[in-house]
Structure 1
Amino acid sequence: MTTKQPLRKPNQDYRSREFLYLSEVNTLIECAESGRKHRIRNSALVLIIFRHGLRATECSNLKWDAVSFDECSIYINRAKNGVSGTHNLEEDEIDKLLLLRSASNSPYIFVGENGEKLSEAAIAKIIKRLGVAASLDFPVHVHQLRHACGYHLARQGKASYLIQSHLGHRNYKNTEIYIHWAGIPRGSINWSEQ
């Protein structure tokens, strides 16, 4: 007779939302920058995952040949049958990537002390530890950074097709949650008029 594994609790039992606010993302980056080890790598890791809405596996597999410093861009190979494409890199991302590039001979962007690419589990552990260091009120997981990207774009009022493209969603239905999470833009409803 086999014993059943206990079922995992629903996400809402762990946290009230599945995304991070921009201020929380910035706090994670600040914690990474003030850390004892791997400051540049870990701050770049958070920034790149957030800005490009990466899954842990997509981040783990990022290679230097996907980056064009001349074009200020990075090619994102999406997992889970997503739509791959080129994303622009902002100046702060380029600065961090240049520092990482000068310190590594690996074909992979994010590597551990052994020079091997960071595994999905290692990335998850780094993000979880940064969440603890940031003293957030709930346990942080790496996928919340991807959700934070979608939420942030929706909150800025970006068109749903742009959010879909940025996150590499093949199906629009996967993008709708960010529109719901972002809510109606502030100032769109006037509660004082009858």
Structure 2
Amino acid sequence: MNTTENLSIILYWPRNNAGRIKVKIPYMLKAEREAFKKLDSTFYHYHQKLWSIVNTEENIKILQRLFGKKLIVENEATPAKMPEIIPSKKIQEALDSCNQKMILKGYSNSTIRSYQSCLLQFFKYFETADLRTITKEQIEGYVFHLITKYKISDRQQNMVINAIKCYYEHTLGMPREYYNITRPKKSKDLPNVLSVEEVRLIINHPSNIKHKAILHVIYGGGLRIGEVIRLRVKDIRSEDGYIFIKDSKGKRDRHTVLSPLLLELLRTYYKQHKPSYWLFEGQDGGQYSATSIQQIFRTAVKATNCNPWSTPHTLRHSFATHLMERGVNIRYIQSALGHASTKTTEVYTRVLGINNKTLKSPLDTLYESVTFDKNKLK
């Protein structure tokens, strides 16, 4: 009896403007899975246990022909959207009070915006209550409400909790221990990393010298997008061989490596564009935008058919992993990335490719130290 006869392959109909089509192929359907893998632009999403392919009408027709009656089309459930809220006078006063405290404590603009957005929803939910009397259990009930109704991610959950703790601990001055709110279990996901060849294709794709220089800086120095757009011309310390990163994450200044190849590219870029203050200027002479960098990267990834789920930050992960593969001391990598602890940097040790080129098996040592008749193993 064929146990695969009644198994179906599910195609989740893509939403408007979705870049990819998600497909669920049961484990038992090995032949179908192998046939799917041979198509262009396929990718496996380990944590979702789903496959995907670029969203085109032609690809949908190919899947229909390939899987025939086994293919079932379903609409992917769309989570409810957070409501738009116009703050009342009471809510606005609470937001302003927290905003002032965050500015005084030196929070970044992006953190302030994120926290204010989270607190707006929180204050509205408890608008009729006295915020000082809300219990830890009530706060956890609110977070549970967001998870179940709006399907917020672990990252968003942590952001909400951090915003609430910021309000109670810094604005209201209430005890830190009391608001020890339950958090999601810390994810052990590995950072997404590109191969050396993928990096080479992506960062060399742009024909525009500024775009090419931006991608080279991110990978060549392991920079975050926010650090790239804040680079000043004077931060390229060519004589000393490093890039100066001012006020990186955690308000820490740091140095990172300046490759001679990158320096040569930056000099060519400088001669053409002559930036006055910011290394990468926008059209109005101000800072270049993070959105533009993301678009440059997406265009390069699509054109080179590289990992479709990579982001500009993937270049930073790849910088660290490729250095570690070459045996660079983890302390140097930690310093270049701006990590406060080596524990953060150690995650890249789990990304290293394990093969007989990077790791010697104890079996090899066994045969070196003891004489065996290898014919007996055949």
Alignment TM-score, normalising by the size of structure 1: 0.81
Q: CA deviation at 1:182?
A: 1.1
Alignment of 1:135-146 (within 5 A): 135-146=305-316
Q: Distance in 2 between matches of 1:22 and 1:78?
A: 29
1:186 pairs with one of 358, 363, 370:
358
Partner of 1:13: none
Q: Give the percent of matched residue pairs that are identical in Structure 1 and Structure 2.
A: 25
Q: Structure 1: which amino acid aligns with 2:286?
A: E
Secondary structure of the residue aligned to 1:31 is coil
Partner of 1:107: 277
Partner of 2:242: 73
Q: Distance in 1 between matches of 2:252 and 2:335?
A: 8
Q: CA deviation at 1:139?
A: 2.9
Asked whether the 8 Å contact 2:192–2:310 carries over to 1, the reply is: no
Q: Distance in 2 between matches of 1:158 and 1:73?
A: 17
Asked whether the 8 Å contact 1:132–1:139 carries over to 2, the reply is: no
Asked whether the 8 Å contact 2:205–2:300 carries over to 1, the reply is: yes
Partner of 2:229: 60
Q: Decide whether aligned partners of structure 1 residues 137 and 66 sit closer, same or farther in structure 2, where only a CA change above 3 A counts.
A: closer
Q: Decide whether aligned partners of structure 1 residues 188 and 162 sit closer, same or farther in structure 2, where only a CA change above 3 A counts.
A: farther
Q: Decide whether aligned partners of structure 1 residues 5 and 119 sit closer, same or farther in structure 2, where only a CA change above 3 A counts.
A: farther
Encode CA deviations 1:83-118: one digit per residue, 9 max, x unaligned. Answer: 432234222211111122222233111123433321
1:23 pairs with one of 190, 194, 197:
197
Q: CA deviation at 1:177?
A: 0.8
Q: Distance in 2 between matches of 1:67 and 1:114?
A: 22
Q: Structure 2: which amino acid aligns with 1:20?
A: L
Q: Distance in 2 between matches of 1:78 and 1:176?
A: 23
Asked whether the 8 Å contact 1:82–1:168 carries over to 2, the reply is: no
Q: CA deviation at 1:17?
A: 5.9
Q: Distance in 1 between matches of 2:251 and 2:341?
A: 9
Q: CA deviation at 1:5?
A: 4.1
Q: Distance in 2 between matches of 1:91 and 1:118?
A: 24
Is 1:97 the counterpart of 2:271 in the alignment? Answer: no
| More displaced 10-residue stretch of structure 1: 39-48 or 57-66 | 39-48
Unaligned segments of structure 2, at least 5 residues: 1-81, 84-148, 156-189, 368-378
Q: Structure 2: which amino acid aligns with 1:84?
A: D
Partner of 1:157: 327
User: Aligned pair count?
Assistant: 184
Asked whether the 8 Å contact 1:29–1:47 carries over to 2, the reply is: yes
Alignment TM-score, normalising by the size of structure 2: 0.44
Is 1:85 the counterpart of 2:257 in the alignment? Answer: no
Secondary structure of the residue aligned to 2:213 is helix
Asked whether the 8 Å contact 1:131–1:139 carries over to 2, the reply is: no
Q: Distance in 1 between matches of 2:251 and 2:316?
A: 14
Q: Structure 1: which amino acid aligns with 2:253?
A: S
Encode CA deviations 1:3-60: one digit per residue, 9 max, x unaligned. Answer: 55454599xxxxx96111111110012212xx3xxx2111111111112111110111
Q: Distance in 2 between matches of 1:93 and 1:6?
A: 43
